[in-house]
Structure 1
């Protein structure tokens, strides 16, 4: 009888332990089920955005290019430091060789830039002031020049590309050079061409181009070792006429005379080569300029080269009074061009006699 209580207590303890184990197992199953449910819900929630995200973003990626215009001011490239691109443009101001290698030059001013665009010159880049509101002219020019690159430049940098003694420009254009082809200049029955032989002053080059344009010339040829037609000072002095009148550079007089001789043979045009010289055979107003004429203007200091003198059919002089011994080359060219235009206008009047 002493063993029964011991066995009974053992049995009761086993029963209690078994119930506790079952309870723990049940609690663990419930916890596992809850965790599994949460993971399933989390995967479903996470899966929906991943599946829907491409559908929501794809239309925006496809529509973005269509919403942007081809060229807009907001898309202009910004330059705020003296980077390589700025230095390249800066070199075009002073380095003729770099202008020639790049095949481009800088233009500023409302009239020159407007004429370059109107006459179809290749405007490669338009650089505008990023620090101030643009004028109506500048806004319209930028909006219309869709093939040109647009650059918004810091004002202090743009001022370095402008004239040293003037206010910073609002706009600077980078324009491509045309070929130096004499056939750009037409030779017809009323031909008037101007040759500027070895000029040293770029301002004089631009002034001669301007006067030639004003008085009806067909083109200007700059020969020999000379100031550059596309030097900023020449471009400025032409006040836009560079873009309205062909201006061609040649190494010497030989290329020009071959071109004139071909026109003489092919078309039978009696082109007369007339040089200006203080010891000319007659005064400028005594010579008949109503015939096809190639007018020669010499270097500012030494006049016409020997090569050109040998090819001249006639030499004319400009009568002067007073203490002045000579005229500036550009002024002399202007005086003779005015006389040519006067004679030709008079010859076109009914009943007018040939000068």
Structure 2
């Protein structure tokens, strides 16, 4: 077991993952903190390359069980002040987890398919929140398109509270790859965009069919290309002085409506 008590080269590499997307991508790994996210990652078979724990205190029962579940994993004991720079204050464990490939075929398409596209998001926290909501309401996967914040940004990973590891989240360069994937699907998929100027209220649209839900950029909404590609544009009726909803809140509202419509009592 390696022990790290200074800001050596290895520590600096891990520290760079907190802010440098390119370094995370080149290494093919990212940092995960927290009991639930790490546990969900292990439960779902995500490859854990390294487990870093606090060298100054005995391992908790959970940490001992984690090492038992990962018998071949690299173990690193780190001084607590250094570990706090990689995770939250008083963090016991930080895991270095391998990124999966950005392959749309990781997302399974069946007769009850529900997928979510987040188009060019700027806020990693919003990405994480949408992944969490997608998981909560039974989606099969999340796709992030275009020039966007990173799914593996620490703020995004934290905001998912572990849901990142429970359903596929795939990054693609543009809408084109997604449209091609939809076209070659054996299951017909209805592409439904969310837009404040949509043609129909979300409650009046049939969301029981296989659906790919489109959520636009926080500031500018859906791109013109996505609006053109959509089979329908739905709106969320709102009242009061608010002119619109936050992207993550809007996505959650529509995902709830999908889940409501798909309940047997609603059919």
TM-score by length of 2: 0.98
- 2:221 is matched with which residue? 303
Higher relative contact order (CA 8 A, sep 6+): 2
Please identify which structure carries the higher helix content.
1
Aligned positions of 1:1-355 closer than 5 A = 76-163=1-88, 167-263=89-185, 267=186, 269-345=187-263, 348-349=264-265, 353=267
Describe the superposition over 1:252-276 as per-residue Cα deviations: whole angstroms up to 9, x where unpaired: 000000000001xxx2x33111000
Could you say what the CA RMSD is over the residues aligned between the two structures, in angstroms? 0.9
Structure 1 regions of 5+ residues with no counterpart? 1-75
TM-score by length of 1: 0.74
> Which one has the largest radius of gyration?
1
Describe the superposition over 1:173-193 as per-residue Cα deviations: whole angstroms up to 9, x where unpaired: 000000000000011111111
SS of the residue 1:225 aligns to: coil
Whole-Å separation in 1 of the counterparts to 2:53 and 2:122: 32
Structure 2 regions of 5+ residues with no counterpart? none
Q: Which segments of structure 1 move beyond 2 Å, counting only runs of 4 or more?
A: none
Whole-Å separation in 1 of the counterparts to 2:30 and 2:262: 36
Give the number of equivalent residue pairs: 267
